[in-house]
């Protein structure tokens, strides 16, 4: 791979067949050239495009809703996880090798808390009162595990008060020791063991012993005193005892966490307000995903984007200018996108972006598979209205025919299938018809959107005209548009009928005298939104401004 990071290739919002198919085909070409390319889309796939994708065996591209990087797309530290019952000693050993924050999780990997060096230091370097409190709550089996000991006897209920005494037998034996409810570290001295039990010790930890005398065990059972044979000497036994508590008693639970889908910039804004070394990242269910630090956020790469079939920010993915734009492949007017470095910008006077993509296969000497050729051919026919659109060039015709030969298709038959089976007008809601293939344009100071649907016969619209007009009215209010114009283009009658809505509807009325929402009128030879409709609307607005 030339680049292991994914390159997201996307068409415009409200994608049409050309937009979707060019993204898929160009991503396939990029992968063949050694790049990690991913085809994306910015909206739902329309009925026609679904038909084309299904016919040639392609899945819908993934949704790309924002060009900013999310936490799950950048390098994070792997989370080292432990359970609440992990002992302080075990956590310390793990911390010394991993040198990371330890994430405390339950059996389903849900984040419960974190353990840091500060938490451990509070035990090792803190007041002895805290260590005593922790040990008083620690089950006997945890002590046994930590000192690598053997449990000889344990009563049903222990009575540890957390205090520890190391017994050194002297002239007066244990007369001067207060041992009630304490943990007592004692050597292999039967008399001293019995005396400690008699003085109500809660637990005997015997060092340097291979066995315990029967009379000691009997006395311990009578007095309810636990007995453990330690696997260490006196010094290490006394040290490790205080590390036998489960970490649930010392872990931090008031956390600054992030969801993995949060944007890097948003996370960085929160991180600069706190001083933690690293922060847990979780999924939507609260399961640990990784750990992020300032280093990760400050050094996060930008998302790599290639645009196809558009070059205007209003039509593109949100936050585009915060991404790393690599290329543009388009056949529309030059829009407002600016870059801070040179990029590959391919803008060609043809009727379909897929025409350009098909020729890029040739230029890179990469043979097209039949399914890719069929996909490209279908998109060219769709965007050029089976070569009847005024945007059609001889390059489109030759390219589509060459793709058809590779895919063993008849272009006329394929076009008929696309504009009948693919249209599915009676299977769509009124809003779906409005959004079918719609693009936004800035004309003067006005926000204008123009949608287009290709049909064999525009009279199909008459039965649903009222519902479509109602949906257009709601759409204009929601999007705060000045003008919304819908074209229903008839391949059979070589023209388009129009519906329009918006407070600046005079623009459409001056551009197309006789336009009427109550009676569908066919405007002959009006087939291209890009080459005919937008220039005409722009001319009307410019004329009013003079």
HEC per residue, 98-144: HCCCEEEECCCCEEEEEECHHHHHHHHCCCHHHHHHHHHCCCHHHHH
Answer for the pair 455, 490: CB distance below 8 angstroms, yes or no: yes
Tell the CATH topology of 3-69+303-420. Answer: inorganic pyrophosphatase (n-terminal core) (3.90.1640)
Query: What CATH code would you report for 425-545?
Result: 3.10.310.20
pTM: 0.72
Residue 503, pLDDT above cutoff 70: yes
pLDDT digits (tens, 9 = 90+) for 307-351: 999 999 999 999 999 999 999 999 999 988 888 899 999 999 999
Given this model, what pLDDT does residue 275 score? 81
d(CA 42, CA 284): 23
Fold of 73-124+249-293: CBS-domain (3.10.580)
CATH 3.10.580.10 residue ranges of the chain are 73-124+249-293
- Report d(CA 468, CA 480) in Å as an integer: 18
Whether the CB-CB separation of 158 and 225 falls below 8 Å is answered with no
pLDDT tens profile 48-97: 999 999 999 999 999 999 999 999 999 999 999 999 999 999 999 998 88
Is pLDDT at 37 greater than 50 in this prediction?
Answer: yes
Given this model, what pLDDT does residue 168 score? Answer: 61
CA separation for the pair 258, 183 (Å, rounded): 43
pLDDT digits (tens, 9 = 90+) for 246-281: 999 999 999 999 999 999 999 999 998 888 889 999
- Residue pair 280/302 in contact (Cβ under 8 Å)? The answer is no
Domain with CATH 3.90.1640.10 in the chain: 3-69+303-420
Residue 169 has pLDDT above 60, yes or no: no
**Per-residue pLDDT band at 39 (split at 50, 70, 90):** very high
Instruction: For the chain, give the mean pLDDT.
Output: 92
- Binned at pLDDT 50, 70 and 90, residue 123 comes out as confident
Domain with CATH 3.40.1390.20 in the chain: 138-244
Is 350 in a helix, a strand, or coil?
A: coil
CATH number of the domain located at residue range(s) 138-244 in this protein? 3.40.1390.20
End-to-end CA distance of the chain: give it in Å, rounded: 55
Percent of the chain with pLDDT over 90: 76
Q: What per-residue string of b and e applies to 51-65 under the rule 16 or more CB within 10 Å gives b?
A: bbbebbebeebeebe
């Amino acid at each position: 791979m030339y680049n292991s990071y994914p390159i997201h290739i996307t068409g415009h919002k409200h994608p049409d067949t050309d937009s979707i198919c060019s993204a898929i085909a160009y991503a396939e070409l990029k992968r063949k050239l050694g790049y990690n390319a991913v085809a994306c889309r910015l909206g739902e796939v329309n009925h026609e495009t679904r038909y084309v994708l299904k016919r040639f065996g392609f899945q819908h591209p993934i949704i790309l809703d924002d060009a900013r990087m999310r936490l799950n797309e950048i390098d994070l530290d792997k989370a080292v996880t432990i359970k609440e019952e992990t002992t302080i000693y075990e956590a310390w050993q793990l911390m010394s090798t991993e040198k990371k924050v330890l994430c405390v999780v339950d059996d389903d990997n849900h984040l419960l808390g974190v353990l840091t060096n500060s938490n451990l230091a509070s035990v090792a370097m803190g007041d002895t009162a805290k260590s005593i409190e922790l040990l008083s709550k620690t089950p006997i089996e945890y002590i046994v595990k930590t000192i690598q000991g053997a449990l000889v006897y344990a009563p049903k209920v222990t009575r540890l008060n957390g205090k520890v005494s190391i017994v050194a037998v002297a002239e007066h034996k244990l007369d001067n020791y207060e041992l009630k409810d304490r943990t007592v570290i004692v050597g292999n001295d039967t008399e001293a063991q019995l005396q400690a039990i008699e003085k109500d010790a809660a637990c005997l930890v015997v060092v340097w012993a291979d066995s315990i005398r029967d009379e000691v065990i009997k006395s311990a059972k009578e007095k309810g005193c636990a007995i453990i044979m330690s696997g260490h000497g006196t010094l290490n036994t006394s040290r490790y005892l205080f590390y036998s508590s489960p970490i649930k008693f010392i872990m931090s639970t008031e956390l600054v966490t992030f969801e993995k889908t949060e944007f890097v910039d948003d996370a960085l804004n929160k991180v600069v307000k706190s001083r933690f070394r690293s922060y847990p990242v979780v999924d939507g269910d609260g399961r640990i995903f990784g750990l992020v630090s300032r280093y990760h956020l400050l050094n996060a790469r930008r998302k790599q984007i290639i645009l196809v079939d558009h070059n205007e920010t209003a039509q593109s993915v949100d936050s585009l200018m915060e991404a790393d734009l690599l290329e543009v492949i388009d056949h529309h007017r030059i829009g407002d996108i600016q870059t801070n470095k040179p990029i590959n910008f391919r803008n060609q006077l043809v009727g379909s972006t897929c025409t350009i993509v098909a020729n890029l296969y040739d230029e890179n000497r990469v043979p097209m598979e039949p399914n890719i050729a069929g996909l490209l051919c279908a998109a060219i026919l769709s965007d050029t209205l089976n070569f009847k659109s005024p945007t059609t060039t001889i390059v489109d015709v030759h390219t589509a025919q060459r793709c058809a030969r590779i895919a063993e298709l008849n272009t006329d038959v394929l076009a008929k299938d696309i504009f009948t089976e693919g249209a599915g007008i009676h299977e769509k809601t009124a809003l779906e018809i409005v959004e079918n293939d719609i693009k936004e344009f800035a004309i003067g100071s006005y926000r204008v959107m123009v949608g287009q649907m290709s049909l064999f016969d525009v009279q199909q619209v008459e039965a649903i005209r009222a519902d479509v007009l109602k949906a257009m009215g709601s759409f204009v209010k929601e999007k705060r548009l000045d003008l919304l114009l819908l074209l229903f283009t008839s391949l059979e009658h070589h023209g388009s009928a129009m519906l329009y809505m918006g407070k600046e509807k005079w623009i459409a009325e001056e551009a197309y005298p006789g336009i009427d929402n109550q009676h569908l009128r066919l405007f002959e030879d009006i087939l291209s939104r890009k080459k005919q409709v937008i220039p005409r609307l722009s001319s009307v607005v410019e004329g009013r401004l003079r």
